[in-house]
Amino acid sequence: MVLGRIFSPELIKIGLESEDKDETFEEMVDLFATKHQSASRDAILAVLRERESKLSTGIKTGIALPHAQSSAVPPGEHGIIGISPEGIDYDSLDGKPVHVVFMILTASEDFSMHLRILKRLAILLENPEFYDTLLEQKDAEGVYKTICRYEDMLTTSM
């Protein structure tokens, strides 16, 4: 299980307060930095913004997948999820608000795993029921269990 390992309830926030993409990055990186004291908040934000300047990671209706690789990230792969029932002005490719943000942070040397995580998420996001079920969750534990359940379904179907 890839996604069940990188995401955890303590790094899932339902009810993001942010109204735009930059505020969202700050809110989610702040959550990450409180759990990973060795992480460099400013360096991670800079890498996320640099990546985002190339092309919006608002990839599907209602979904954004910002991701970054940096030596400012503690070793390994890390995932943060933010959910905004109101929606975030994200400058997404379709111009619509984003409601679910999957942020992936990996250390610089973890390139192959970084791609594997993005691919696994992309496959799950092809299932509209996955997105709808995420939005129905009332707490971080529910979001985490949803990810694990859908990833298990994916694994057994492969």
Q: Is the pTM of this model over 0.75?
A: yes
Q: How many residues does the chain have?
A: 158
Average pLDDT over residues 43-55: 93
In the DSSP assignment, the letter for residue 73 is S
Q: Of 36, 67, 99, 114, which one is the catalytic site residue?
A: 67
Query: With b meaning 16 or more CB within 10 Å and e meaning fewer, what string describes 138-154?
Result: eebebbbebbeebbeeb
Check whether 80 has a pLDDT greater than 90: yes
Q: What is the mean pLDDT of the chain?
A: 92
Cα torsion 148, 154, 155, 158 to 10°: value is: 180
In angstroms, the Cα distances linking 57 to 86, 90, 134, 139, 158 are: 19, 9, 19, 25, 27
pLDDT of 113:
82
The total of structural domains in the chain comes to 1
pLDDT band at 116 (very low <50, low <70, confident <90, very high): confident
What are the pLDDT digits (tens) for 118-136? 899 999 999 989 999 999 9
31-35, 57-61, 86-90, 128-132: least confidently modelled range: 57-61
CATH code for the domain in which residue 33 is found: 3.40.930.10
Does the annotation count 114 as an active-site position?
no
Query: Token pair 């792969």 is at which residue?
Result: 77
In angstroms, the Cα distances linking 132 to 14, 35, 44, 126 are: 14, 28, 30, 12
Residue-range definition of the domain harbouring residue 90: 3-157
Query: What percentage of the chain's residues is helix, strand, coil (to nearest 5)?
Result: 50, 20, 30
